Structure 1
């Protein structure tokens, strides 16, 4: 447990000492703040549904930048072999990197809570959809980070790792648009792989076990595959 805590602290320190983390947080908050302010004054409705869908898109664009270096840089700098020979398991290594990356996602979500606070200050919003929206974004972020970790573990090139994970995210974002063209039961299977289909209920205030299970399954599967990829090294 102590070695895992040391490893987690090392990964979190490395992530938050990088300017990329602060650039991503700044850009994220500026874009979301502008969108929130503009939409609030145009619609005059105390709702964050539009913000959640925009966060959904921004997370897909920023998650590859967060995860691309986690394993690819270690492999490029020849430090991954040293890490794998340390008295910690591959599972501990993957979990430490996963939790460190998730900590940045959590910080971004916490900071964006200022928008919900503004709604509560100026109006009387329904907090049910706000709670479910943030819960959905947390699950969605975990699935993205897990996928990004797997991409980073498969290559020594950070750019390639980012492009792989971004391509997967975009494909799973729009796949439901093509799934309806397939014959049954393939159409249902393909549509159920869509990230947007499973996130949409959270944004509008509904939580279904099937959607929670989907994001948890993606997260656990990608982490397991990442562990397997490290074990083969």
Structure 2
């Protein structure tokens, strides 16, 4: 891909849900939907998947159960909407961070920190709760993997495109590095929930960035 070409994963802008026209019922409905999604994220983060009932979500959002069922007929419908919202917002946030970093080696190194910035947020913990909860929810387990496949495909393609900017063509190695780092950061995000000394988590992340520098050096020597 030419150095100056726009990137799907970093330089481009993902399509966000269009705001309904006008100021009437459609916009009120969209606002209610967003309140429910944000309330679900809050509940998932504070109390976990098992305790995030539709009743708890409606109470947190200040929305009647009937209004909630109008937006999301089933709990799975709501949880899938939450997951889609989170991955879309995380994608936007990472793009914004990385667009401010010069292309080349500096941007390649910055990808890890950009992902970690979003991984530490409550929404990421909510998404992890959904990932784990989907294992025991047949309806959710049938629909949730498609959401994550799309999210992880974007997470994998970004480093590959940036690596090609600096002349690295070892796509399989870059993909393996991305998967390893993503798994490590998910683990560190969970660790932050139980670790009273967050400095230890920060130290572990610094080690992860050191490994990436060593990986970058090895690729440079092999090119």
Give your verdict on TM over 0.5.
no
Compute the TM-score of the two structures, normalised by the length of structure 2: 0.44
The TM-score normalised by the length of structure 1 is 0.42
Identify, as 1 or 2, the structure richer in helix: 1
- Higher RCO (C-alpha under 8 Å, 6+ residues apart): 1
